[in-house]
Structure 1
Amino acid sequence: MSFMQTKDERLLAFYENVRRQVHLDIQAGGRYRLIGEGVKQYADKLREEMERRRLRFTPIDWN
């Protein structure tokens, strides 16, 4: 999965979307009832690219 051609704003939007999903999942009663390992891997790739570009973002709290 490559995000090299993705604009900064889109990367941030994708990551924020996952962060909200994790938050809602925790509110729904537990850790990762709706979100699986694939989503976590996707978020990790997004985070790596955003760090490489030195973008400012709020990290996902996976706890």
Structure 2
Amino acid sequence: MEAPEVLVLQASYTNPVHADAIGFVLNEYAMDAMGTGRPLSSDTRRQLAIELSKRPYAFSVLAFISGAP
């Protein structure tokens, strides 16, 4: 059995792949019982990386396993 490819990196908020992954991951957290229990709005998901990029103190770390966040 081949080990999956694992990639851990600091997200670039201007990279569309990273922006989508941030929205995906935070949406998964939101849908959990420890979150709101419901998904983020599509507008919120679209705006996340844009709004984070405006904050010089913000950074995000992403992990991809076989290309999936």
TM bin, normalised by shorter chain, reads 0.3 to 0.5
Q: Which structure shows the higher helix fraction?
A: 1
Q: Which structure shows the higher strand fraction?
A: 2
The alignment's TM-score, normalised by the length of structure 2, stands at 0.33
Indicate the structure (1 or 2) with the bigger Cα radius of gyration: 2
Query: RCO greater where, 1 or 2, for CA within 8 Å and sep 6 or more?
Result: 2
